[in-house]
Structure 1
Amino acid sequence: MADKARQKGSWVLSVFNNRSPTIMLTLYKSMVRSLLEYCCPLWDPHKVSDIQSLFKNMQLEGVQRAFTARIAGCQDLDYWERLKKLSLMSLQRRRERYILLHMWKIANGSVSNDVEIEFVSRPRTGIKALVPPLRAGVTAFHQSLYDNSFAVKGPRLWNCIPASINEIKEFSTYKRQLTSLLQKIPDKPPVRGYTTSNSNSLLEWRKDPTLLEVWGGQDI
């Protein structure tokens, strides 16, 4: 998948000479990024090593990193700076966003709840998703599978979003408000050559005490 996206990106760069942000981003979003995101809530990689280097040199984040480096005015910026300048989310952040959008659809009955996620409504914390229990004494391998399955990661991501957003009943409004929130949270994906303070997951940034106001002032 990453290889196919890289090939498409190379084709775009060879056919179109215009390197302006508007043209380049339109081509990238419509022809390249879509190849990297199809059905991503299902296969979303959770290990930093997978995000950095999936299947040897097929770097998921590296595809976007390489393409944005060719955009006019971005050549001298590092990848994190380019994301900010171009108002782009990392592919990692967008995958978590897609998981949250699918969680909203499950909670509101727009799609089938195949993994039987349960939701509870509480006066103080709003609508929360229940994280299924895991029996004690399992191996580290099965613990990893559990922690990063959609049935577990989906509820955990959902529960870290403020109740004021999760309680929205209109999808386009929820999508807009969620995107607005995510744009306020640092987006520093793990890529080769960059030192990160955490995995860049929303679950990690939710614990950052300097971002309490962004999350609505509610500690977790």
Structure 2
Amino acid sequence: MEETTKKVKRIAGWILRTYYSREDECLMTLWRALVQPILDYCSQLWSPYKAMDVQALESVQWSYTRQIRGMKDFSYWERLKRLGLYSQQRRRERYSIIYTWKILEGNTPNPSNNNRVEAYTSERTGRKCIRRAPPAQASVKLKSLLSASLPYSGPIIFNSLPKQIRGITGCSVDKFKSNLDKYLRTVPDEPPVPGYTSFCRAPTNSLPDQVTLQFRDAVAGCSGRPLRL
């Protein structure tokens, strides 16, 4: 994780030193071509679970997007909206959802033995993944590592989706992605980078926490407080 952070910081710095333009089309094209693939590669396997590591990766995109013309005076959360970006955490969770869906659809191999990703369907809740708990005899460190791995975290994130998204089946991956993205754009994406944590209303920016907060706001008729930074 540390090596990945150093590598993307180095590449992002090289882009900003090498290219004079600060227009969004130029800088975002370079970001997507040279930086984002490194952050995305096998993220289902190495996705960080410690808050400090999540923030360290997020800070690269936070710093880079500040250099885009017209973006410096906006909060990071607002920059994400204006640039049409997901936070890095939301992006990793999106990949986790897609991979979990592909496993359930039989489009990719399922982990073996006790780590299999499986689902059940009921008329009331629709299709939901079976949530697994780490072995009781495992050490605290091992339990933390397992909880962050795809067979354990994937079902939790997948289950936080609405019934109609979880129930999409028998279609192409692109169609599922399209429906998933339409939904994700409706869920607040508020990564707790340094300086923003006091404005975070959910415990974390993880999709299950943001969906829960969104549901509570809807029930209470609360639109949430505005962000002022």
Alignment partner of 1:206: what SS? Answer: helix
Q: Which amino acid is the alignment partner of residue 30 of structure 2?
A: L
- Alignment map for 1:26-41 (pairs within 5 Å): 26-41=29-44
Which of 101, 105, 112 pairs up with 1:104? 101
**Aligned partner (choices 194, 198, 214) of residue 192 of structure 1:** 194
Q: How many residues align?
A: 206
User: Could you tell me which amino acid in structure 1 is paired with residue 193 of structure 2?
Assistant: V
> 1:134: Cα distance to partner?
4.2
Identical columns (%): 36
Number of the residue aligned with 1:88: 85
> CA separation in 2, counterparts of 1:211 and 1:74?
31
Any stretches of 5+ residues in structure 2 without a counterpart?
A: 220-229
Residue from 50, 64, 67 that aligns with 1:67: 64
Q: Partners of 1:41 and 1:30 in 2: how far apart? A: 20
Q: For the residues of structure 1 that align with 2:134 and 2:109, how far apart are their CA atoms?
A: 23
State the 1:186 CA deviation.
0.9
Output the TM-score relative to the length of structure 2. 0.83
TM-score, length basis structure 1: 0.87
CA contact (8 A) 1:205 1:211 kept: no
Larger % of helix: which? 2
Structure 2 CA distance for partners of 1:211 and 1:5, relative to 1, 3 Å: farther
Say which SS state the counterpart of residue 77 (structure 1) adopts. coil
1:125-159 alpha-carbon deviations (Å, 9 max, x no partner)? 11111012445576543442343222111111111
State the AA in 2 paired with 1:21.
D
- Whichever residue aligns with residue 31 of structure 1, its letter is L
Matches within 5 A, 1:13-28: 13-28=16-31
The structure 2 residue matched to 1:77, chosen from 64, 71, 74, is: 74
Q: 1:136 to 1:211 in 2, by over 3 A?
A: farther
Mapping for residues 47-66 of structure 1, pairs under 5 Å: 47-52=50-55, 59-66=56-63
Distance 1:211 1:204 in 2: 14
Judge which range, 39-48 or 98-107, deviates more. Answer: 39-48
> Given the superposition, is the C-alpha separation of residues 142 and 83 from structure 1 closer, same or farther in structure 2, using an over 3 Å criterion?
same
1:192 is paired with a residue whose SS is coil
Cα separation, 2, equivalents of 1:28 and 1:140: 37
**Conserved 8 A contact 1:42-1:150:** yes
Root mean square deviation, CA, Å: 1.8
